Structure 1
Amino acid sequence: MIDLTQMGQQAQAAAQVLAQLDTATKNQALLAMAAELTAHTEQILDANARDLAAASDQPAKFTDRLRLTPARISDMANGLKSVAALPDPTARIDGGFTNAAGLSIIQKRVPLGVVGMIYEARPNVTVDAAGLTLKSGNAVMLRGGKEALQSNLALTQVLQTALTKVGLPAQAVQLVADPSRALANEMMHLTAYLDVLIPRGGAGLIQAVVNTATVPVIETGAGNCHIYVDQTADLEMAKAIVVNAKVQRPSVCNAAEKLLIHQAVAADYLPALAAALQAHGVALRGDEAARAIVPNMAAVTAADWDTEYNDLIMAVKVIADEDEAIAHINRHNTKHSESIITNDYASSERFLNQVDAACVYVNASTRFTDGEQFGFGAEIGISTQKLHARGPMGLAALTTTKYQIRGNGQVRE
């Protein structure tokens, strides 16, 4: 039987050790983790194969997130090496001053403490979370989905072995090996031990955690992402960006789900864009104006505008102007990633400033919303809220601040 209270106590003890580590020791641990992942690739793949076999009746978009390959394990190891190469956020001083009483006051970065993660069938999250929390001086308690249990157990064992080899507590990275909902619910209320809880997965999981947890939550978002093709857009650029954003990896949260196109170019551009998407197997659902131009589209429903497909499906809408595009996006998006394709500077600036999302692009694919692509080494999630952190969450997002005040006998009058 799993005792979450005991796990929380062990995590707190480990966090106290990690908070005092110097950067060199943390980097040594990260490189040891990377080496263990590489050395145990076959063991990890065997565990993942058992998960995949049990999930054989699941759709491809699900198994794509679940599947590990030698290349993906190598990418996880390289991610740990990248995190090791990054500056240590806890070595940073944000500012300092002397007040009127002569007190020397500095504001420095410190770890959050113990980070909890509840996530679905994404084994890479186990490694990304372990690496980022360790470098930022935090312990982590992980609760992955039942479909990835064998993979997560194997990965956690490998990571804990690496920690032990460099003399650090294995409990710095712990996995809740019972993925039952009852235990997840208990974890959401582990306020005595968890400093923050980060859900990562579909909209249902995220909202369940946000609505249930008493532990402070950083909300990471589902991605109902849009691309708006402006009337000044270059068609070939638009085609390349739209296809990449939808097709490269449709099961992830930064894939584009909606295509908006200006009415002035819809008749000329939409047939070419639709053909390029359909050539990659994308099923299109259009509004009345879009279907008048490309009749083989299915009819869009009202629910489609708010749906994250995570699949080769895209809804299409013909837009009167940029104001309508921005209003539509702000009404239906999940505050994740939005893009405009345009050759008009004023239009790009208006879009950047008025669209409410964590990441807003001009002439680029939404697929770049990613911690590694932003130079963070990896990410613990993509925050779509506005407090504490927003966008891809790297090392700095896993720290808070502490004021340290030095005096020489001052008393307040």
Structure 2
Amino acid sequence: MNVNVEAQAIEAKKASKQLMILSKEEKNEALLHLADVLEREYESILQANEKDLANGREQGFTDAFMDRLSLSKERVQDFAQGLRDVAELEDPTGQVLTDWTLENGLQVEKVTVPLGVIGMIYEARPNVTVDATGLALKSGNAIVLKGGSSAIHSNEAIVKVIHKGLEETKMPKEAVQFIASTDRAATNELFTMKEHIDVLIPRGGGRLIQAVVENATVPVLETGVGNCHIYIDEQADVEKALNILINAKTDRPAVCNAAETLVVHKSWLKEHQDALIAALKEHNIAVHGDEHIVDTIPGAVPAGEEDWANEYLSTDLAVKAVDNLTDAIAHIETYGTKHSEAIVTEDQKAADHFFALVDAAALYHNASTRFTDGGALGFGAEIGISTQKLHARGPMGLPALTTIKFLMKGNGQIR
């Protein structure tokens, strides 16, 4: 399909000006209405999704990939509930962060304002279409969506329903643009539209994110690949450790906050290896281990260098045995992606040391990495998980989609 990406970006820019003057009540009413329309029109979305699933089966997509792609009535209802949750959140714009008055009487306010136009580039998750749209509109931003080719029909159907809903609100439907093309050239166009796009947010695999970071001239809010680690310390409670590991690995293996590597203290492993082996076997977890692990865990295959850096997105697990906490932190520092890392221990000093030295957006003590999620943390929804350090880090909700203005109010002051 031929598309005019620049024309769509220009339309989004125009619509963003209209969004900026809508009241909080008007924005919330629009989101609530969109939720109702999505629930009412779910059948058209599922029909379109079936086309993408049929293509996925034909292309031989993995089970994990198909799970991310698949929609159901319940998942569409979850989309709708996400919009309702976002509507209930505090509006992130127009907040006075701080204010003061100069000696000359000039009043200064530092206030939050929308970014403007967000370019969202993402892969096989149709839920991102709704989540990103809801967060963008709530924060007063227009959005240009470029989903992956594997979900083209699903995303088109979702945006069609969104446009239908917006026509019955005070929000301009042009505030949500979808680039209905599978051509990579259309994606590449977004990279350089600095005049119309204020920020790009890539969400997907490492190759996609790296391509955007390396080629974009538009500012990028970088979301990260999740090579997340669970470190079981010498002083870890066995029941906590196994429950956390199994949850982090198997609850939803194909998501970025799932654990991909287990780092385990050799002393703990020696004492509890039977329990660990039984848990791994019960949940059909395939182990890729170092020499010590291959000798300890039946069925483990030798891990190569690529295993330590791999985001499996499956029930495969890399396992590294270490002598101490220092070695565990060194391994995470070498192979981690600064996403989410966890320590399981009853030694508070060890946990404090881990928190102080491990560089990641989210750190956990005696809890699963699966909580690195905007919804789980009370954000209503998230537009991505940032692993960079400037502007935003970790799960990005509404505040991450704002910037600031300084407003000065005077009475004829000159300098």
TM-score calculated relative to the size of structure 1: 0.98
Q: Which residue of 2 aligns with 1:148?
A: 151
- Per the TM alignment, residue 99 of structure 1 is displaced from its structure 2 partner at its CA by 1.6
SS of structure 2 residue aligned to 1:108: strand
Please give the residue correspondences for 1:89-128 in structure 2 after superposition, counting only pairs within 5 Å: 89-128=92-131
Partners of 1:278 and 1:381 in 2: how far apart?
Answer: 33
Is the contact made by 1:198 and 1:219 (CA closer than 8 Å) also made in structure 2? Answer: yes
Q: Which residue of 1 aligns with 2:281?
A: 278
1:281-339 CA distance string (max 9 Å, x none): 21111111112211320111111111111111001011111111111101110000000
Is the contact made by 1:44 and 1:155 (CA closer than 8 Å) also made in structure 2? Answer: yes
Gaps of 5+ in 1: none
CA RMSD after TM alignment = 0.9
1:146-180 CA distance string (max 9 Å, x none): 11000000100111111111132111111000121
Q: Which residue of 1 aligns with 2:39?
A: 38
Is the contact made by 2:26 and 2:170 (CA closer than 8 Å) also made in structure 1? Answer: no
Q: Which of 283, 295, 300 in structure 1 is aligned with 2:298? A: 295
Is the contact made by 1:140 and 1:174 (CA closer than 8 Å) also made in structure 2? Answer: yes
Q: Which residue of 1 aligns with 2:7?
A: 6
SS of structure 2 residue aligned to 1:379: coil
Partners of 1:274 and 1:142 in 2: how far apart?
Answer: 45
Q: Which moved further from structure 2: 397-406 or 291-300?
A: 291-300
* Number of equivalenced pairs: 412
SS of structure 2 residue aligned to 1:140: strand
Partners of 1:312 and 1:263 in 2: how far apart?
Answer: 23
- Per the TM alignment, residue 12 of structure 1 is displaced from its structure 2 partner at its CA by 0.7
Partners of 1:307 and 1:104 in 2: how far apart?
Answer: 53
Partners of 2:234 and 2:280 in 1: how far apart?
Answer: 20
Identity of aligned residues (%): 50
Q: Which of 393, 396, 401 in structure 2 is aligned with 1:398? A: 401
Is the contact made by 2:285 and 2:316 (CA closer than 8 Å) also made in structure 1? Answer: yes
Q: Which moved further from structure 2: 14-23 or 130-139?
A: 14-23
Partners of 1:94 and 1:107 in 2: how far apart?
Answer: 6
Gaps of 5+ in 2: none
Please give the residue correspondences for 1:168-187 in structure 2 after superposition, counting only pairs within 5 Å: 168-187=171-190
- Per the TM alignment, residue 116 of structure 1 is displaced from its structure 2 partner at its CA by 0.2
Partners of 2:277 and 2:73 in 1: how far apart?
Answer: 34
Q: Which residue of 2 aligns with 1:240?
A: 243
SS of structure 2 residue aligned to 1:404: strand
Partners of 1:188 and 1:343 in 2: how far apart?
Answer: 47
Q: Which of 265, 269, 273 in structure 1 is aligned with 2:272? A: 269
- Per the TM alignment, residue 19 of structure 1 is displaced from its structure 2 partner at its CA by 1.0
Partners of 1:271 and 1:71 in 2: how far apart?
Answer: 39
Q: Which residue of 2 aligns with 1:345?
A: 348
Is the contact made by 1:274 and 1:284 (CA closer than 8 Å) also made in structure 2? Answer: no
1:246-285 CA distance string (max 9 Å, x none): 0010001000000011111111223322321232221111
Q: Which residue of 2 aligns with 1:307?
A: 310
SS of structure 1 residue aligned to 2:93: helix
Please give the residue correspondences for 1:334-413 in structure 2 after superposition, counting only pairs within 5 Å: 334-412=337-415
Q: Which residue of 2 aligns with 1:47?
A: 48
SS of structure 2 residue aligned to 1:134: helix
Q: Which residue of 1 aligns with 2:22?
A: 21
Partners of 1:339 and 1:70 in 2: how far apart?
Answer: 34
- Per the TM alignment, residue 239 of structure 1 is displaced from its structure 2 partner at its CA by 0.7
Partners of 2:280 and 2:74 in 1: how far apart?
Answer: 27
Q: Which residue of 2 aligns with 1:82?
A: 85
- In structure 2, do the counterparts of structure 1 residues 316 and 271 end up closer, same or farther at CA, with 3 Å as the change threshold? farther
Letter in 2 for 1:165: E
Partners of 2:327 and 2:155 in 1: how far apart?
Answer: 45
SS of structure 2 residue aligned to 1:257: strand
Partners of 1:59 and 1:389 in 2: how far apart?
Answer: 32
Segments of 4+ moved more than 3 angstroms:
none
Q: Which of 314, 322, 332 in structure 2 is aligned with 1:319? A: 322
Matched, 1:62 2:69: no
